[in-house]
Amino acid sequence: MRDLLVVGGGPAGLATAIHAARAGLDVEVWEPQGPAIDKACGEGLMPGAVSALTALGVDPEGQPLTGIRYLSPAHRAQARFRLGEGRGVRRTTLHTALRGAAEDAGVPLVKRAATNATQTGSHVVVDGVPARYLVAADGLHSRMSRALHLEGRPAANRRFGLRCHVETEPWTSYVEVHWSPTCEAYVTPVSARLVGVALLTSERASFAQQVSAFPELLEKMTGHSTGPVRGAGPLRRTTRCRVAGRVLLVGDASGYVDALTGEGISLALMQARAAVAAVAADRPHDYERDWQRITRRYRLMTTALVSSTRIPAVRRGIVPAAAAMPGVFAAAVNALARPA
Ligand SMILES: Cc1cc2nc3c(=O)[nH]c(=O)nc-3n(C[C@H](O)[C@H](O)[C@H](O)COP(=O)(O)OP(=O)(O)OC[C@H]3O[C@@H](n4cnc5c(N)ncnc54)[C@H](O)[C@@H]3O)c2cc1C
């Protein structure tokens, strides 16, 4: 029987497996997709995510990110990252780098989807396969957390993400967040010839319809080829708890607020390290405390931003306020960018 079965081979699952192998645990990953997995994502690694990847020995190619810029038709505000650069990285590039590090660490990567899990006091059984511990890192629609009755209530306000890539030289080293009355367009340079555009909204309309609300951005996209559109959502996900017996939830499977502040991968990488420390010490419940600490700032700040900007007057005022109070904006950007 293995020490640890990881279900889901996205950033959370692969980082968990690399940490586990390095801690001397006998670990296996199940992931049905691949080899290089793409996903609807803004693809901006915040400085905390870059540091966490460096600590894993993972250094994916990408485009340096120096800060965050908010834009509306009449205003703009920007703040530089104080603690090092972030990086725009294609999901396929990030996945290939993490997968390579897992293989180098000797982790078996099994092409398989998990369907059901049960547990006794001494082990977990996933589709008939026993393991001492299970890390469920199977994303926003986690089947494992549903099987184990760990899901919370669905969110009342459902937001979705749509992203595509534009084949053009990046015009900025900042992650740009353009604000319209109903949607945010999140622009991230990911290579010397490619810029990602992710739209976040609760409206159900096509990418082309939604992006027309951003004339400045549309002008920059016009005349350049665009890649396929991918979608994801609903973005918000709640869970009742992050540890149940010998099962630990890591990454989006453990809970997610919104993509607006670009923290998902950073949090997933920090949670992976904490989950492995708890498993290696045979104290799984330590992870719940660590999860709370790692995610607290993000949960508070992202929930406040997403909820308040549902009010039209607050939404109209967000970029002017950030421009009028550059110190406050810089403090908020850097509070989210630094590791927990
Ligand atoms: C539109 C959008 C923009 C975003 N922008 C950013 C950003 O700029 N920066 C950032 O840091 N984060 C961003 N995020 C968040 C980020 O994408 C996620 O937080 C991150 O992918 C979480 O990693 P994960 O491994 O938990 O989940 P995932 O990346 O979703 O990986 C889960 C894996 O589990 C696998 N799986 C699912 N079911 C099963 C099963 N039954 N058995 C086995 N495997 C299974 C899936 O195939 C998948 O590979 C964004 C998200 C969205 C939707």
Q: How far away, in angstroms, is 111 Cα from ligand 1 center?
A: 17
CA angle 251, 51, 94 (to 5 degrees): 60
Ligand 1 centroid vs 36 CA: distance in angstroms? 13
**Shortest-distance Cα residue to atom 37 of ligand 1:** 138
- Tell me the per-residue pLDDT of 45-58, one tens digit each, with 9 for 90 and over: 999 999 999 999 99
CA of 137 to the centre of ligand 1 (A): 9
| Residue 213 confidence (pLDDT) above 80 | yes
Distance 212 CA to ligand 1 centre (A): 27
In the predicted model, what is the mean pLDDT of residues 193-217?
Answer: 94
Ligand 1 mean position, distance from CA 61 (Å) = 19
Question: What are the boundaries of each domain within the chain?
Answer: 2-65+88-155+236-337, 160-232
| Chain mean pLDDT for the chain | 95
Q: Is the pLDDT of residue 340 over 80?
A: no
User: Which residue among 18, 41, 81, 144 has the greatest number of ligand 1 atoms within 8 angstroms of its CB, and so is best to mutate?
Assistant: 41
Q: Provide the Cα torsion 271, 272, 277, 283; round to 10°.
A: 70
* CB of 336 closer than 8 Å to CB of 305: no
Instruction: Report pLDDT for 337.
Output: 84
pLDDT band with cut points at 50, 70 and 90 for residue 78 = very high
Residue nearest to atom 16 of ligand 1 (CA): 264
Per-residue pLDDT tens over the stretch 272-318: 999 999 999 999 999 999 999 999 999 999 999 999 999 999 999 99
Residue nearest to atom 38 of ligand 1 (CA): 138
Cα 143 to ligand 1 centroid, rounded to whole Å: 14
- How many angstroms does the Cα of residue 307 sit away from the middle of ligand 1? 23
Shortest-distance Cα residue to atom 15 of ligand 1: 264
What is the predicted pLDDT for the residue at 273? Answer: 98
Q: Which CATH class is domain 2-65+88-155+236-337?
A: alpha beta
Residue 336 pLDDT more than 90?
Answer: no
Determine the pLDDT at residue 224.
96
For residue 13, give the ligand 1 atom closest to its CA: 25
Q: Is 165 in the pocket of ligand 1 (CB under 6 A)?
A: no
3-state secondary structure the chain: CEEEEEECCCHHHHHHHHHHHHCCCCEEEECCCCCCCCCCCCCEECHHHHHHHHHCCCCCCCEEECEEEEECCCCEEEEECCCCCEEECCHHHHHHHHHHHHHHCCCCEECCCCCCEEECCCCEEECCEEEEEEEECCCCCCHHHHHCCCECCCCCCCCEEEEEEECCCCCCCEEEEEECCCEEEEEEEEECCEEEEEEEECCCCCHHHHHCCCHHHHHHHCCCCECCCEEECCCCECECCCEECCEEECHHHHCECCCCCCCHHHHHHHHHHHHHHHHHCCCCCHHHHHHHHHHHHHHHHHHHHHHHCCCHHHHHHHHHHHHHCHHHHHHHHHHHHCCC
Predicted confidence band of residue 83 (pLDDT cuts 50, 70, 90): confident
Residue located nearest, by CA, to atom 27 of ligand 1: 139
User: Phi/psi of residue 8, each to 5°?
Assistant: 110, 120
208 — pLDDT class (breaks 50, 70, 90): very high
Does CATH number 3.30.70 belong to domain 160-232?
Answer: yes
Report residue 154's pLDDT band, with 50, 70 and 90 as the boundaries. confident
Q: Is 262 a pocket residue for ligand 1 (Cβ < 6 Å)?
A: yes
Residue 59 has pLDDT above 90, yes or no: yes
Best of 162, 242, 252 for a ligand 1 pocket test (most atoms within 8 Å of beta carbon) = 252
Whether the pLDDT of residue 339 is over 80: the answer is no
**Residue 112 φ/ψ region, left for φ over 0, alpha for ψ in the -120 to 50 degree band, beta for the rest:** beta
Query: Is 34 or 101 the better-scoring residue by pLDDT?
Result: 101
CA of 263 to the centre of ligand 1 (A): 12
Atom index in ligand 1 nearest the CA of residue 175 equals 8
**CB-ligand 1 contact for 257 (6 Å cutoff):** no
Which pLDDT does position 155 carry in this prediction? Answer: 81
Give Cα 262 distance to the centre of its chain.
7
Percentage of the chain exceeding pLDDT 70:
100
Which ligand 1 atom is at minimum distance from the Cα of 200? 1
| Confidence check: pLDDT of 338 > 80 | no
Q: Which residue owns the Cα nearest ligand 1 atom 49? A: 10
List, for residues 225-235, the tens digit of each pLDDT value.
Answer: 999 999 999 99
Q: Is the CB of 47 under 6 A from ligand 1?
A: no
**What is the distance between the alpha carbons of residues 204 and 305, in angstroms, rounded to a whole number?**
21
